[in-house]
Copies of this chain bind each other. A is one copy, B any other.
Amino acid sequence: MASGRIFNFSAGPSMLPVEILEQAQADIINWDGTGMSVMEMSHRSKPFESIHKKCIQDLRDLLNIPPNFKVLLMQGGGSTQFACVPLNLLKDKETANYLTTGAWSTKAIEEARKYCRAHEVATSKSTNFTTIPDPSTWNVDPNGAYFHYCANETIHGVEFTLTQEMLDRIGEVPIVADMSSNFLSKPIDFSKHAVVYAGAQKNAGPAGVTFVIAREDMLGHAKNITPTMLDWKIQADNDSMYNTPPCYAIYICGLYFDYMKRHGGIEAVQELDRQKAAILYDLFDSSNGFYTNPVNPQYRSKMNVPFLIKGGNVDLEKKFLAEAEAVGLSTLAGHRSVGGLRASIYNGMPLEGVRRLADFMTEFKTKHEAE
């Protein structure tokens, strides 16, 4: 680790590889001999156009995005897309399908209710969102304009990939995925998706950019009440430069994509993420109940790892947070809505950080097990 740097387990914004920050530091006053910071460049200038184009191409390369999908760089995060999805996809339909698996998919269906009869396919609310509803119970309306799901619930730590059984339940309805918090952690099967969207601030860069990857036939159907800036087709037709984009955030995302390409691509990321998650879950499972994760093991998130100490001992949680902070392991509190603890271990978290956390947790357990 660079001098004075800590391991930051924030659920987002989150750690970036220090190599990227060092590159940004070197370039910040004068990018590539242009005499300007990227922050100062006209978005219509040749230097920024090259940055923008390379960012998108590298993302296409990393995720092997098919040519019939457009990549849009938008603003406003996943929450803005909660409105964009119905506004752009409902067409003349009156209903859309939503699977509810945690806090974020709940927000998505609530937003959709402004624009349509949002049909809840299934919900795992009765389990406190610790699992994915059994696909055999999914009740998909085949007349719905689309099927929306959240691939990883940041707060509840539930993650899943569409299985054949799930796909059979969904049928012919176009599938829309909120991948905000596991985007770029593994390959995406675009043959199964019509639209994928994600904020950048977990695995892809700083907050302020939202990626929308949409199949071409999903564009051009926006309702007439759609704000121009939220119309995917208009963004696509203008190469995501209908107005001034968040240039600097795009530049940092571009550095990240370039970094990933140079470090083994999405497969290397996936393997590293698997290793990091296994360290923590294995530690829980061998802790004799000192550390517990409430999520159905089948759907445990590799990105956000919530856990309790002795089933939810608040005093020990406070000690844990204070002692961890003191040794440079930061931002381990659970989301305020659910409490407990949470380690978010996105792409920018080095293996070393997770090992250090695991060592700390083992020591903490030894010290407090008998209390």
Contact = CB atoms under 8 A, between A and B. Distances in A.
Interface of A: 2-6, 8, 10-16, 18, 21-22, 24-25, 28-30, 33-37, 39-45, 75-80, 82-84, 87, 111, 114-115, 199, 201, 205-208, 224-230, 242-249, 252, 328, 330-331, 336, 348
Given A15-B36, A83-B228, 5 more contacts: A5-B36, A79-B243, A114-B226, A208-B248, A248-B248
Contacts of A39: 13, 16, 21, 205-207, 252
Contacts of A230: 83, 227
Contacts of A243: 76-79
Contact of A21 (B8, B33, B37, B328): B37
A28 B36 contact: no
A362 to B, nearest CB: 23
Nearest to A33: B4
A244 B207 contact: yes
A227 B83 contact: yes
Nearest to A1: B35
B10 A247 contact: no
A29 B18 contact: yes
Contacts of A77: 75, 229, 243-244
Nearest to A39: B206
Contact of A28 (B24, B33, B43, B199): B24
B30 A28 contact: no
Contacts of A15: 36, 40
A197 to B, nearest CB: 13
Contacts of A247: 13, 206-208
A45 B229 contact: no
A39 B256 CA distance: 13
A208 B111 contact: no
Contacts of A201: 244
